[in-house]
Amino acid sequence: MLGVTSCLLVLSIIGGIIGSVFSPQNSILGSITSSVSGAFQSVGNWFSDLFAKVGSNEELMLETSSLKSEVNDLTNKLLDYEKALQENEMYKKYYGIKEQNPDYLMQPAMLISRNADDPYGSFNINKGSLQGISLNDPVITDAGLVGYISEVNPSFSKVTTVIDTAISCGGADRRTRDAGIISGELALAEKGKTRLNNLLRSSEVASGDYIVTSGGGVFPEGILIGTVDSVHNETYNTALYAVITPVVDFAEIRDVMVITYFSGQGNAQGE
């Protein structure tokens, strides 16, 4: 375009010189020259307008790009703000727990996926070893015990729930102090329930009692597990067991708190 414009400019100058020699009023050649000169002038004006429009479009593109960048920046700030609000609300829920247990160190986390093929309701959270999460860390909600960390990766972890057969958690009746072991059973897990095993025949555990963690291992003492549905005789020995309905609805979990440290924390289940 620059080359064409240069050629047109040269031709315009030549046309002007010829036009000055051959006046349109005195010569046919002058008339032709005047017409050609006018045509060149029109073409030159068209190119000038075109360059002006191109320049204007470039400015518009630059302004649009700048506005998009500002919008993206504001969107990121809004997302960070909403995340901070959510975490603040979570900490409010757990304020009472922290106040009663000042030794607890806790890390908030969000559920990112459920393991659909697991009948015990395990799921993954968005925190891992990079955020201080370790194997066997207890996992809770503001309602009570969820389970523990069974797998750890740098940026995510797996949570095994309290209704799983893999769990072995000391539990005690808050009213009678009768103690047993919380461990899952597939038939009960399908109903969202678990068992408190190894209760003495003389225990006074009854329907409606609250069961809490007894401490001394992976789980700190006093975290609410669930309520007693019913008490039964074991099939192969003289002990009793209680069917427990957890206080946490695993299907409704969205956010959890991982206890990364507490006084007397064990390194493995049962320690």
Identify whether residues 60 and 113 lie together within a single domain: no
Q: In the chain, which ranges are continuous DSSP H helix?
A: 2-21, 28-93, 95-100, 186-189
Same domain, 125 and 238: yes
Query: In terms of domains, do 111 and 217 share one?
Result: yes
What is the pLDDT, as a whole number, of residue 165? Answer: 96
Residue 50 CA to residue 63 CA, distance in Å, equals 20
Q: Mention every residue, 6+ apart, whose C-beta is less than 8 A from residue 2.
A: none
- Any domain includes 266: yes
Domain end among 68, 96, 116: 68
Same domain assignment for residues 13 and 122: no
Does some domain include residue 259?
yes
Domain that holds residue 208: 105-271
Q: Which residues of the chain have pLDDT under 70?
A: 1-56, 78, 80-91, 267-271
The answer as to whether 135 is a domain residue is yes
Q: Judge if 174 and 270 occupy the same domain.
A: yes
Assign 3-state DSSP to the chain and report helix, strand, coil percentages, each to 5. 40, 25, 35
Alpha-carbon 27 to chain mean position: 85
* CA–CA distance, 139 with 51 (Å, rounded to integer): 66
Cα 161 to chain center, whole Å?
20
- 53 shares its domain with 127: no
- Evaluate whether residue 73 is within a structural domain: no
Q: Are residues 58 and 115 in the same domain?
A: no
pLDDT score for 46: 62
Domain at 146, CATH number: 2.40.10.350
The domain tally of the chain equals: 2
163 and 262 fall within a common domain? yes
Verify that 18 and 127 share a domain, yes or no: no
Does any domain span residue 251?
Answer: yes
Does residue 257 form part of some domain? Answer: yes
Whether residue 262 sits in one domain with residue 159: yes
Residues 119 and 53 in one domain: no
The pTM of the full predicted model, rounded to 2 decimals, is 0.68
Same domain, 253 and 142: yes
Q: Is residue 198 part of a domain?
A: yes
Where is the domain boundary, 68, 89, 123? Answer: 68
- DSSP string across 3-24: HHHHHHHHHHHHHHHHHHHS-T
Q: Is residue 84 part of a domain?
A: no
